[in-house]
Amino acid sequence: MNIIRIKLASFDKLSNAIVPTPVHELPVLSEIAGCRIFCKRDDLTGFGFGGNKARKLDYLVADALQQGCDTLLAVGAAQSNFCRMAASYAAVHGMKAHLVLGGDKPERPTGNLLLDHLLGAVCHHIGSEDWEDYESHSSELERNLTELGRKVYRLPMGGSTPIGSLGYTEAMAEIIDDQKRLGVTFDTIVFASSSAGTQAGLVVGKMIAEWPGTVLGISVARKTAIHTDNVFKLACETGRLLNVSIDRTAVCVDDNFIGDGYAARTDSCDEAVEFFARRCGIFLDYVYSGKAAAGLLEYCRSGKFRNAGAVLFIHTGGNIELFA
């Protein structure tokens, strides 16, 4: 058995996860890059239209059920992918989802919010996007629900805690299997990085397996120095659960594709979203996977991957935003 899976064996995980995810080559990008470019379809992880949050929730919701909780409380923007996925996991596991959502209640729900409603989640629109307001509303809601006799599991923003990050430590084991099955060795794994859980989990997996390639997070919000600190801190905390120490040089971040900030549109992201749709038949989004793909395209075009054996792009999902 893969050494990563041996380390993870003592942690609870939901048994109905729909992984491994497919991996296929993107020939049009391979031609541009001069090396084989593959895409791992974590936009197809299973329930609730999928995405990277499923892997975190496979561990977080197992932890919630183990503690006897019957209610998931998640926070995020009105179009949060994480909240939509939390609502779908609650639906699958007979729990109630309460979502604390930023901003005002829109006249008509669209995109992720439409799906939150369909999944039966209770949506609390707090009229503010201030972090302190999210915190105070969540705490008050947790108190109220507890008084009503509910056992609440409060999910962290983006699912990025050590337990949540284990999902991507396991994904690293899957990627090592993907390499064997496809007969390739990935030099670099490229993906969108924001609340750090995806990247931290992959870095921990890399350290355990002594995988020699680069885990490259394309930051969609924070500058390299701050984001590297965030990922390193979370990777160390996750590593502690598994008795693994983390080398800071294993955390690689590129902040060149953020533009004016989180969720700000950029020309390179717009172009990448269109390129993936028209040349690969794959839908991305403008906040996460589109910015990561903008980075991937730039690396391919500038010849940075020319000497690589192969490169893996993880499609982390988020494309429901196209319907917002």
Catalytic residues: 80
Q: Under a CB-based contact definition with an 8 Å cutoff, are residues 312 and 25 in contact?
A: no
- Token output for 229: 């600190």
Our finding on whether 52 is near ligand PLP (CB under 6 A) is yes
Our finding on whether 21 is near ligand PLP (CB under 6 A) is no
Side-chain half-sphere CA neighbours of 9 within 13 A: 6
Region near ligand PLP per CB under 6 A, out of 250-258, 267-275, 293-301, 312-320: 312-320
- Choosing from 21, 71, 161, 198, the residue that interacts with ligand PLP (CB under 6 A) is 198
Our finding on whether 111 is near ligand PLP (CB under 6 A) is no
Q: In what order do the strands lie in the sheet with 23-25?
A: 23-25, 36-41, 310-315, 186-193, 214-219, 252-254
| Contact mark string toward ligand PLP, 288..307, x via CB under 6 A | xx------------------
Q: State how far the Cα of 214 lies from the Cα of 188, in Å rounded to an integer.
A: 5
How do beta strands 310-315 and 36-41 pair? parallel
Closest residue to ligand PLP: CB criterion: 318
- Given the complex with ligand PLP, which of 35 and 320 has the nearer CB atom? 320
Closest C-alpha to 51, from 81, 92, 14, 91: 81
Q: State how far the Cα of 299 lies from the Cα of 21, in Å rounded to an integer.
A: 24
Our finding on whether 81 is near ligand PLP (CB under 6 A) is yes
- Given the complex with ligand PLP, which of 141 and 196 has the nearer CB atom? 196
Our finding on whether 112 is near ligand PLP (CB under 6 A) is no
Our finding on whether 195 is near ligand PLP (CB under 6 A) is yes
Q: Under a CB-based contact definition with an 8 Å cutoff, are residues 85 and 57 in contact?
A: yes
Residues 127 to 166 in contact with ligand PLP, rule: CB under 6 A? 158, 160
- Choosing from 20, 46, 50, 51, the residue that interacts with ligand PLP (CB under 6 A) is 51
Question: For ligand PLP, how many residues bind (rule: CB under 6 A)?
Answer: 19
How do beta strands 152-154 and 252-254 pair? unpaired
Please report, as ranges, the residues that interact with ligand PLP according to CB under 6 A.
Answer: 51-52, 81-82, 158, 160, 192-199, 288-289, 316-318
